[in-house]
Structure 1
Amino acid sequence: MDDYLTLLSNEFSGHSTLPWPIVSVRILGALVLSAVIGLERERNDHAAGLRTHMLVGLAASCYCLLALDLVGRDFGDDVRLDPIRMIEAVTGGVAFLAAGLIVFTRGEVKGLTTGASLWLAAAIGTAAGLGVWSIAALATLLSLFVVKVLKSFESRVK
């Protein structure tokens, strides 16, 4: 019985090669930055809004943190890790999700910008998960510029 308790204790000890304060800041940062984009989409009553964008950013951040954790572990010489595969997996998974938002009805394409913003939320979550805050913050600011400022500019040009 003591062996089982020790195993359970070790399993849930939170062991990670990354310090918990860093993990917490990166996850929360991805959540907040993704929420900024999601809030704009939510305010304009789009299919993927606040919660969807936050979940995508959070998931991307978690995948990055897991990949970083794996890279930091010692598996010996028999295991080779490729952290680029993590980015490819996030990109492919979110592209599938975003594609589901795009519909063609009555000769019009709808949901394209929302799909692209979801894909960007994943990139921002990835950047936050990797701790590349300059990219995460700049991408968030630029996304707001694109969806807010350029939309009003487009309306005036038409």
Structure 2
Amino acid sequence: MIDYLDVLARLVIALIFGGIIGLDRNLHGKQTGMKTLGLVALGAALVTMASMEFVTAPGSYSREALSRAVQGVITGIGFLGAGVIVLDRNSSKVRGLTTAASIWVTACIGIVCGMGGWRIAAMALVLVLALFVLGHPLERHLHNRWMRKTDNERDELTRHED
């Protein structure tokens, strides 16, 4: 028997978690936003639950079907993520990798929500948001520190050559 309330809870939580990740991306001026990543997580949860035949009781579904559904979601999301990765010809830099990775991890969170693993999905959501908040300042700090070290080494080599 299908527990429609549990099904609805899994789908809503996936949608909310995807939307939260999308909100962060949108606030940082990225191509994807709440709607896009909310849909990614919702769709991943829906496919996962469909492979479980919408039965929420553990062990009441085919593990092989679940595995195939997860593999299909991950493959399909790879194509969606590839669509946001571009090469900026002016600077020769690749852009969109973080957005593509956020699409991928949002699908993974949706899969976990579809399986009913809300606590695990919530932990992953917190880690994603922590990485978004702390990642750039940490990268900048380490880059500046590394560049200072490189500049100091270069200066020292120059002094020894003189």
Normalising by structure 1, we get a TM-score of: 0.80
Q: Match for 1:131: what amino acid?
A: G
Contact 1:71–1:81 (Cα < 8 Å) also in 2: no
Structure 1, unaligned stretches of length 5 or more? 1-16, 73-78
2:53 is the alignment partner of 1:69: yes
Equivalent-residue separation in structure 2 for 1:49 and 1:58 (angstroms): 14
> Which residue in 1 is equivalent to 2:71?
88
Separation in structure 1 between the aligned mates of residue 102 and residue 54 of structure 2, nearest angstrom: 29
Aligned to 2:39: 55
% identical aligned pairs? 35
Q: Does 1:24 align with 2:8?
A: yes
Q: Deviations over 1:78-109 (max 9, x none)?
A: x9953200000000011110011001113101
Deviation, 1:157, is 2.5
Map of 2:131 onto structure 1: 146
- Select the structure with the greater relative contact order (CA < 8 A; seq sep ≥ 6): 1
Tell me how far apart the structure 1 counterparts of residues 93 and 22 of structure 2 sit (CA, whole Å): 23
What's the counterpart of residue 123 of structure 1?
Answer: 108
- Whether the aligned pair in 2 keeps the contact of 1:71 and 1:83 (CA below 8 Å) is no
1:97-125 deviation per Cα after TM superposition (whole angstroms, max 9, x unaligned): 00110011131010000000000110001
SS at match of 1:64: helix
Q: Which runs of 4+ in 1 moved over 4 A?
A: none
Give the TM-score, by structure 2 length. 0.78
In structure 2, the partner of 1:42 is: 26
Tell me, in whole angstroms, the C-alpha distance in 1 between the residues paired with 2:122 and 2:87. Answer: 33
After TM superposition, give the deviation of residue 34 of structure 1 in Å: 0.8
Q: Following the alignment from structure 2 to structure 1, what is the Cα–Cα distance between the partners of residues 67 and 97? A: 26
